[in-house]
Chains A and B, each alone.
Chain A
Amino acid sequence: MTGLPVSTYVLSTGLALILIGLWGLLMQKNIIRMIIGFSLVDTGIHMVMIAIGYVTGGTAPIIDSAVPIKDAATRVVDPVPSALVLTAIVIGLGVTAVMLSYAVNIYREKKSLSIDDCSESKW
């Protein structure tokens, strides 16, 4: 394959996803949609992380018959970003869950899901 390396695509997609998520956060009045926007940002970041962990020509960082220990250092992709992504996903999930619980309560209090109705305190 000529042209750009594969991880560049992943990285660019991730960054684009972040932008889309930000757009959603900024432009969507509906709280649920804003939460979706946040999830997009999160996902975008995860993609960037994965992209950065990729090593040209690398394989999954699991030592088995295909990848013997002595070759590990040269054959596998970086396990660290994968580990970090795992953690980041769970954290994103936690945050999303709390956001959603807020959304439920906001709707119950205000009978509205518009962020514009959430501006009691100002100045």
Chain B
Amino acid sequence: MVAAVFHPLGIFIVALGTAFLTPLLFRKREGFASLIFMLALAAMATIAAAGFLALANGAPTIEIETAGIAPPFAINLRFGLYESFFVFAVNLAALLAAWHYLPRLRKHAATLLLFIIMVMGIDGMVMTRDLFNLFIFIEITSIATYTLIGFEREAGMLSAGFKYIIATSIASAFFLLGTIFVYYQTGTLNIDDIIAHQSAIGGPIGFVALLLLLTSLLIELKPYPANGWGLDVYETAPSAIASMISVGVSAGVIFALYKVQPLFGDFLTSIAVVGGITFLASNVIGLRQNNVKRLLGYSSIGQMGLMVLAMALLQQHGQHTHLALIVGGLFLNHLLAKAGLFWLAGVVQRDTVRGWAGVAGKPLLLLVLGVCLAALIGLPPFPGFWAKWGLVMELAVDNLYGWIALVLVGSLLEAAYLFRWFGHALRADDSEPVNVGVAPLLPPAAAAALLAVAGYFTARSAGVVPGQLLLPVYAAGALFLLDGLPGRLKSLAMLAVVAGGGFWVAGDLQGLNRIFALILVAGGLLMAVATLYRGDARKGFYPLLAALLLSLATLLTAHTSLEFFTSWELMTLSSYLLVTLGRDGVKPALSYLLFSLGSAFLILAGFAVAFAATGSIELAALGNAGDSVPLVFSLLALGFVIKAGAFGFHIWLPGAYTEADDDTTAILSAVMSKASIFGLVIVAGQLGVRADIGLEPAYVLGWIGMLTATFGALMAVFQEDFKRLLAYSSMGQLGYIVAGIALMSHLGWVAALYMTVNHFLYKGVLFLAAAGVIYRTNTRLMYQMGGLIKNMPVTFVAVMMAIIAMSGVPPLTGFGGKWLLFNAMMDKGWYWLAAVGFFSSAVAFLYMFRILQTVFLGQRKLAHKDLREAPLILLVPQVVMLVIILVLSAYPKLLLDPLSAAVAPYVPGALLWDGLALQSHLGYWNAPMIMIIVGGVWAIPLIFLLLVSLTIKIQPVKQFNIVYAAERPHRPEDTHYAYRFFAHYERAIGVLVKPHATAFWSAVSEWSHTLAASLRILYTGNGQTYVLFILVYFVALYFANTGTV
């Protein structure tokens, strides 16, 4: 009986019954009619859900025969796992869309019944197994849609609607013609029967028949360039209707395509090309779009293209088993995310992307928007991520590298315009704030919540255990609930969560991972303590920080490339969002995100190639990739170094580091940047050394590293902004580390890891010190500071020590790094790199001195007279790190021995100790002794001077008591030599630091926009032109495929 109630036929019965009775009910009481309407939609969704659950648990496919006569003689419907999934998803979306749009829908009986019939039509398209019946359902859906598009009767809607009608009518006409020709040849209309008698379809008529069917279905999916009519509708139609066209109608059509695809065996390449062109073109054109709904239209069309592409390619290569996860995942992801976005657009009612500045500061709205956008571009934990992963892996297995590139480039472009929109939404300007209550946000919020749930289940079906892996998400979610608490309390909660979670996840790691765990997790925690210094609410900050730090922890525990990549993307997402929280962080955050995604996609491609070669996603199996090793290594290494800010790809780095909150920057630079080093080490360890690839990629990597070091240092020299200077410095220092790893030798790796630890320590100190200074002075410009040593002596000492540790001047830790690296390079015979290294470390002195001079020394500004020392809680981590620096300086064996042991499994070898002196092939380094001697030669003159001071009178003088060309300066601004400190250097070699990279990437951006402009001129807005495109599309498909059949 239960089965009977939940029989899928009930969907149609409920829908039709409700629709037919609605006019009668409506005449009695509007409210009652809309209640029945909602109940009917809910009932339909419930039936679908029940069916889906049963089928997912192994119930047999339900074959529905009508008229009590077996197919092919009567129409039959099928309700299998895939059908039930699509029907359920569409009905769920429809329910939410109706909820969203009910205030308008309930005004007329016709809108209510049209909506429910439209949904039923889509269900029919999914379930029917009869070709002509499919046509009927397509028409039912279309006609219902036509009216719903235009019923508000505004001029734009009417124009768009009419074009839509004409275009889809042509498509339907093609379908009908194709159907009748198929019938002519096979004598049947049942799809299964047609497929069984596929051999009967042949000759010119069969060819035209198939092409007509194919063209029709493709046109319904709005392929580029024959899709202007669809875009117009997305732009003008009411959001709920646009969402249903985007997710519902398209779902029906794509399922129809799936059903008849066995007929199109010879056209699969064409189909894939159509999908690919559409995906790429619409995402390029999206770059130029400022209208939110049209933007969503481009994205919708692109997503459909992606699904078509995936379906065709997977079918073509017999990957039927993966179809469910990949296309299903992409579909579900698109359905929920796009629908959610359309509804948000309907709620917010701002046409242009810029107008969305009005939503800034609305947490729920932004959360929903962010979730949908992140899902749409395929970030974890949402379904699209797992699906895209699967797609790329399977494409790689079939050696479809060009397609992988297309998918990834398209996704990157999509991210560019979607997150540009998000950026506008984050940044409040003087536009009028949007007034939205909570109630209208519920449907999109429900979509977002469902995305998360769906992500969880997709992850499970992708073979991932989402318990530990998604810990960052859970933690962020939990902390987000506490976001109303006072700032410091939240900070403490965050620390507790990170400490607990981090220990749980990464507590029992060994070897190399343990070392990185100490830097990334323990170190990150130490730096996170500093967040206590600001007591304000910092909405969203603490959850994101927890997510970032925990994703670093999960990154370390990854055994498979999927786990690794998941954590990597979570890290990308959370760090991106953290950067947006900075005062002017939105814009640089976008370029940070794009470069991060670009690098992530390279990594993804690398993993995919490795998977194709080894058949395994175990990280440990990377080395078995055989001939693919150089390619895998190059892709992965390039991905990691881009994320590390490698020269040429660095342009995201200064902006992101500068504009993020000060303590965020400290964590990004000191801690998170090490994640890419970790990745590089893992990859190099599996590939570079073990598989013994040729030296060429490693040598290139070494040069990338050293050039990064040089240009990072050079660019740091010319910065006026404290944090920007440190950002470039970070870039440069990471360059050394990359070069060290590239050496692929024991000593080189020890050097790299030693520098990694060291960079964490001193850059942490420097950025936290900078945070303190900026906190007190309220400026980041160094020439506006000066003389702060008097006010902030502890900070000064910290900075000075950190700078000595960074510069490589003995006796602090920096020298060890330089010594190890130089020796390793000479060992390897990389003399030129060593020479460049010398130069860049000399250049580094320039900016290091500049920090000390212009911030802490020189003339203090009058306004800064009463500044206090930085907050204590900022100083605590600095002091802790300084103590570590001192200990490691005096006794580096403490660090070097574990490092050597940790890298030994990858790069065999050992450090040669002579007592406390480290020996290399060339030289020796006795750190404790150096410490003692330097201490001695420093202490003795000091004592001497102190003794002298006892005998004479040392008189402290006032600030301006200097001999200054016979005048006494009276304003510190006149006397503080700080602005354009190295102007002469710029005159000498400034030509080297012309922003070529920035110019290049601007040109790339400019070029893509120009491309977008020239691709979209086809969208003239003229309905007849659009019809013409459809005809041309048919003709083109015909002639492109003549000869294949």
Contact = CB atoms under 8 A, between A and B. Distances in A.
Classify A-B as touching or not with yes or no (CB < 8 A). Answer: yes
Interface in B285-312: 285, 288-289, 294
A120 B162 contact: no
Interface string A30-45: 0100100010011001
B668 to A, nearest CB: 38
A29 B166 CA distance: 13
Nearest to B163: A118
Interface string B268-289: 0000000000000000010011
Contacts of B165: 95, 98-99, 102
Interface stretch (B56-64, B472-480, B986-994, B1013-1021): B1013-1021
Interface in B1008-1039: 1016-1017, 1019-1024, 1027-1028, 1031
Nearest to A109: B155
B147 A98 contact: yes
Contacts of A71: none
B1027 A119 contact: no
Contacts of A22: 1027, 1031
A26 interface: yes
A81 B1031 contact: no
B469 interface: no
Nearest to A50: B180
B180 A42 contact: no
A7 to B, nearest CB: 10
A58 interface: no
Contacts of B166: 25, 34, 38, 99
A123 B1024 CA distance: 15
B206 to A, nearest CB: 13
Contacts of A122: 228, 232, 1019-1021
B158 interface: yes
B146 interface: yes
B112 to A, nearest CB: 17
Interface in B129-155: 132, 136, 139, 142-143, 146-147, 150, 153-155
Interface of A: 18, 22, 25-27, 29, 31, 34, 38, 41-42, 45, 48-49, 52, 80-81, 84, 87-88, 91, 94-95, 98-99, 101-103, 105-106, 109-110, 115-123
Contacts of B162: 31, 99, 102-103, 106, 115, 118
A81 B1023 contact: no
B193 to A, nearest CB: 13
A95 B143 contact: yes
B374 interface: no
Contacts of A27: 1024
11 contacts: A25-B166, A38-B169, A49-B180, A52-B184, A80-B183, A110-B155, A118-B1021, A121-B156, A121-B235, A122-B232, A123-B289
B1000 to A, nearest CB: 28
B170 interface: yes
Given A45-B176, A102-B162, A118-B159, 20 more contacts: A18-B173, A25-B1024, A25-B1027, A34-B1024, A52-B181, A52-B184, A87-B132, A88-B176, A95-B146, A95-B165, A99-B165, A102-B165, A106-B162, A110-B155, A118-B163, A119-B1020, A119-B1021, A119-B1023, A120-B236, A121-B1021
Contacts of B1027: 22, 25-26
B189 interface: yes
B797 interface: no
Interface in B694-746: none
B160 interface: yes
Contacts of A81: 180, 183
Contact of A120 (B156, B289, B1016, B1017): B156
B161 interface: yes
Given A25-B1027, A88-B176, A118-B159, A98 B146 contact: yes
A121 B169 contact: no
Interface in B174-191: 176-177, 180-181, 183-184, 189
A48 B180 contact: yes
Contact of A26 (B163, B1020, B1024): B1024
B782 to A, nearest CB: 46
A95 B169 contact: yes
A118 B232 CA distance: 11
A118 B189 CA distance: 39
Contacts of A48: 177, 180
B1028 A98 contact: no
Contacts of B158: 102, 105-106, 109, 118
Contact of A52 (B146, B183, B289): B183
B231 interface: yes
Contacts of B1016: 123
Give me the 5 closest cross-chain CB pairs, A-B, nearest first. Answer: A119-B1021, A122-B1021, A118-B159, A121-B232, A109-B155
A44 B294 CA distance: 35
Contacts of A98: 143, 146-147, 165
A22 B177 CA distance: 14
Nearest to B294: A121
A60 B691 CA distance: 78
Contacts of B176: 45, 49, 88
Nearest to A120: B156
B482 to A, nearest CB: 45
Nearest to B1022: A119
Contacts of B1024: 25-27, 29, 34, 115
Interface in B352-411: none
B578 to A, nearest CB: 35
B160 to A, nearest CB: 6
A42 B173 contact: yes
Contact of B1023 (A49, A94, A115): A115
B1021 A52 contact: no
Contacts of A95: 139, 142-143, 146, 165, 169, 172
A106 B158 CA distance: 6
B143 to A, nearest CB: 5
A120 B1021 CA distance: 7
Interface in B773-832: none
Nearest to A22: B1031
Nearest to A14: B177
A31 B1024 CA distance: 10
B180 A84 contact: yes
A105 B150 contact: yes
Nearest to A108: B153
Contacts of A102: 146, 150, 158, 161-162, 165
Nearest to A94: B143
Contacts of A87: 132, 136
A97 to B, nearest CB: 9
B114 to A, nearest CB: 11
A12 B235 CA distance: 40
Contacts of A110: 155
A80 to B, nearest CB: 7
Contacts of B1022: 115-116, 119
Nearest to A38: B169
Contacts of A38: 166, 169
A48 B165 CA distance: 23
Contacts of B181: 52
Task: Tell me which of B180, B289, B1024 has the highest count of chain A C-beta atoms within 10 A of its own C-beta.
Answer: B180
A49 to B, nearest CB: 5
B583 to A, nearest CB: 34
Nearest to B143: A94
Contacts of B136: 87, 91
